[in-house]
Structure 1
Amino acid sequence: MKSRKFFSKLKEESYDVSIFDLMNAKVYLEKDMTYLPQDYKKGYIEDFFTFFPEVLKEIKNKTEEEIEDFEIEDEEINRVDLRLCSMGSKQTGRGSYEKLVKTVINYLIFINERPLHALTTRFPGGKQIIEKNGNYYCPIKNAQSNELSICEFCICKDLNEL
């Protein structure tokens, strides 16, 4: 699929994410993170619900003409979508969470080529993503490389490569 066509699809989807979806997604994520340390959970949720709505707004404000037109493998889009659908628990709010995440993550991976987390996100140990000379380095990139994460699709390199 051409990137502009895919962007147009994502832009349509961005308008389907309502304030109620954002609220339901937040409740879902709070429940899904129940057993994480409170400080980490609080900071992660704050970063998530600052960053993702900002990216939604960015999608809505961009035009197709601003997007470089190149080919994106349908198989790669499907791999990302399947991975996103397999993450997390299947509790109330899951649909709203998936709608938000699929739109934003696909945009960040395939169109905008930015990290999948806000640069302000603090990971365990207090480390953050670092940007240096146009490259991004993540402290958990290699630690989270498994079938349950989306790290393999992220533009970030491992922090140890810095």
Structure 2
Amino acid sequence: MPLTETAPTTEGHDASETAEESTAGERRALIGIAAVVLLVCGGLVTYGILDTEDDPKRPVLPTAEVTYEVRGEGTVEISYLAGGESGDATVETGVRPPWKKTVRVPLGKNPTVNIVLDAKGGMAGCTLAVRGEHVQRATASGAYGRATCTGELPTPVATEESTG
């Protein structure tokens, strides 16, 4: 019978044992990397939760519900104070009444609606209501007729929560 020789292995181990050790080592490395990633993510989440306590809170401005309404005949340009702290007017052009808009206006601002008829004229009126109660009414007529309705909202009273 012929004798068969086997290839020598490193340090007395056969090839299958070396492959298993290599796979086990790779698994340990992957588990270690995953553990580090989880720890880092957990630390970031914890930092975010704990750090929010020191963030300055932006005070919430109290508001009032304001309803603007335009009725009549003709084409009008309407400008009105909408919600927001800037106090900028919102303008809508080419509007054919009836038109109605309800917005929240910060206390301390004066809600206003202006209407201007176009060159063809007509007759249109604006009304303003604060918290459902009528405040003012005005009428415009003729070419480029104008009307303004305005109201007054009280200035908000400072509270400890909103001042710091």
TM bucket, shorter chain: under 0.3
| Structure ranking higher on relative contact order (CA contacts 8 Å, 6+ apart) | 1
Structure with the higher strand share, 1 or 2: 2
Q: TM-score under structure 2 normalisation? A: 0.19
Structure with the higher helix share, 1 or 2: 1
Q: TM-score under structure 1 normalisation? A: 0.19
